[in-house]
Amino acid sequence: MPAANSMAMKRETLNLRIKPAERDLIDRAAKARGKNRTDFVLEAARAAAEEALIEQRIIMADPQAYQEFLARLDQAPAPNAALRKTMQTPAPWEQEK
């Protein structure tokens, strides 16, 4: 087997301490899905990890709050000194040298 393939196939070990009843439950569920214990646990853990990370990127809002959020995005910014200065300053590519 080429070295590149053996590197891609390398897997790490993850040890868990669980109660016999929990292991039996996992084994029964794995069998019901036609998987071995390792594949079943890995698939479940990966799905839970992905969901945990996605939850950190998604903000849930009820329809009314979402509409209020969109309305605020559509509002023009309130005038202020910094905004006026920015709008009156020529862009760097428009400045004469």
Per-residue pLDDT, 97: 66
Per-residue pLDDT, 83: 86
CB 40 within 8 A of CB 47: no
In this predicted model, what pLDDT tens digit does every residue of 55-95 receive, in sequence order?
A: 888 788 999 999 999 999 999 888 899 988 988 998 888 87
Phi, psi of 2, rounded to the nearest 5 degrees: -65, 155
Q: Which residues contact 16 (CB under 8 A, 6 or more apart)?
A: 41
DSSP reduced 3-state for 4: helix
List the chain domain ranges: 20-75
In this predicted model, what pLDDT tens digit does every residue of 7-23 receive, in sequence order?
A: 678 889 999 999 999 99
Phi, psi of 72, rounded to the nearest 5 degrees: -65, -35
Going by pLDDT thresholds of 50, 70 and 90, the confidence category of residue 3 is: low
* pTM exceeds 0.85 for this model: no
Rounded Cα distance between 40 and 30, Å, is: 5
